[in-house]
Amino acid sequence: MALTFINASCHCNLNAFKVPFATSKLPIASELCHCNICRHSTGTMAVHTVPIDGAPLSAESKPGELMLVVADLSKLKTYTAQDKITRYFCSVCFTHLFHEIKEATSGNTLWAVYTGTLERVEGIVNVGHHTFVAETGDGGLADHYLASLGKKLPRYAQEAGTEEVVHNWRSDTILKKESNTNGVIAHCHCKNVTVHLVPLSKEDAQDPSKWWAVPPRNPEDPSSHVRFMCGHCFCSSCRRSNGAHISTYILLPMGNVEVLDKITNEFVPISLRESIPSTSIGLKRYESSPLVFREYCEKCGANVLYWTIDPKRNHIPPPTDGKPSIINIAVGLIDQEDNGARAEDWVYWAEYVVRPEEAIDKAGMEAVKEGVLASTKSASIVM
């Protein structure tokens, strides 16, 4: 069987591999999973993996000389939730790389790689369908990713082949819920870290310098909230540190973020500073580029937030004294039970995508660019 080998690596390059695919099967249209475990254990809104033929190989393998070396996985950490999947991520930069799947009936082990870690995807893998869309409560990212390579993507409620969920669907639980006034709760899968996005004020939304505060959808309706600015990023730094082509963040002032103190069970203001590690609040820091800090749950590997004090990054107001003014919260952590995975009562979706020129999955980027534009247009018609 002819094989095609693709390099896969994490952001810090401590973990680098070669992964084999049967050449005759390429390109592979694989699943984009929206399940609660995938979202909450990565911080991304969905997880795109592709099965490989065999196990991961060491980067030193030389397929041309038939020298295949089994990968050393000892520099990866693992997280196993209530499923048959062991999730592997880098112990330094927290990039998610592999799923090891135990097949219940045969007892066989299958491996799948996170497609954002692959050196190239064109002609190798693309998104073929959405799975576990029902777990989002509101369609999640599937409502921004309608088609791929000109083909409408099936949106399965659970695993592939189950009943489909229509576009603009809402779960009964969410439809019946009364709108809350407390903002948004977000947590990693193991619940080591829970954050609270504190509502912005009407005054914030009226101040043009506060670009991150978006007026309510319906200003006449007192229950309509000032919204948090949110967008999908395609930059290589997000891709390589999350193992995902699409990374989605809410931007808001540090003063509007609280973290749950597990001892008192109360939310306290988050305090981030370059000189102080965030370990006391359950976070582990990785500097992905100079003065850009990404913070992860050490237990389940979820990206929780990132922030920068690089003055060139045009943050208003500018960072002071090693502290950021604005921080970016990973949208995959949003508690879907309240208002859905997109939390649209509280979140304003920017009608553009960030750094599209850095996408390596160009077809996926174009699909999301179109999808998010169409959804913001339809939202404005509704109001």
Rank residues 76 and 272 by Cβ distance to Zn ion and give the closer one: 76
Residue 311 near residue 34, CB atoms below 8 Å: no
Number of residues that bind Zn ion (CB under 5 A): 18
- From the list 113-121, 202-210, 215-223, 292-300, the region that binds Zn ion by CB under 5 A is 292-300
Residue 153 found at the interface with Zn ion (CB under 5 A): no
Which residues touch 60 (CB under 8 Å, ≥6 apart)? 69
Site for Zn ion in 88-107 (CB under 5 A): 90, 92-93
Burial 208-228 (b: 16+ CB within 10 A, else e): eebebbbebbeeeeeeebbbb
Site for Zn ion in 170-209 (CB under 5 A): 188, 190, 192
Q: What's the CA gap between 153 and 177, in Å, rounded? A: 29
**Least gap, CB of 36 to Zn ion (angstroms):** 8
Residue 10 found at the interface with Zn ion (CB under 5 A): yes
Single residue of 6, 35, 97, 230 touching Zn ion by CB under 5 A: 35
- From the list 38-46, 111-119, 220-228, 263-271, the region that binds Zn ion by CB under 5 A is 38-46
Rank residues 160 and 235 by Cβ distance to Zn ion and give the closer one: 235
Rank residues 17 and 225 by Cβ distance to Zn ion and give the closer one: 17
Residue 14 found at the interface with Zn ion (CB under 5 A): yes
Query: CB-hemisphere CA count at 13 Å for 331?
Result: 30
Residue 213 near residue 207, CB atoms below 8 Å: yes
Q: What's the CA gap between 99 and 115, in Å, rounded? A: 11
Alpha helices in the chain (DSSP H): 36-42, 172-176, 202-206, 236-242, 336-339, 362-382
Rank residues 199 and 364 by Cβ distance to Zn ion and give the closer one: 364
Residue 45 found at the interface with Zn ion (CB under 5 A): no
What are the counts of helices (DSSP H) followed by strands (DSSP E) for the chain? 6, 24
Would you state the structure tokens that stand for residue 197, as one six-digit string?
């996005």
Q: What's the CA gap between 295 and 306, in Å, rounded? A: 6
Rank residues 12 and 57 by Cβ distance to Zn ion and give the closer one: 12
Rank residues 127 and 205 by Cβ distance to Zn ion and give the closer one: 127
Rank residues 98 and 216 by Cβ distance to Zn ion and give the closer one: 98
Residue 299 found at the interface with Zn ion (CB under 5 A): yes
Residue 300 found at the interface with Zn ion (CB under 5 A): yes
Contacts with Zn ion, residue ranges (CB under 5 A) = 10, 12, 14, 33, 35, 38, 90, 92-93, 188, 190, 192, 233, 235, 238, 297, 299-300
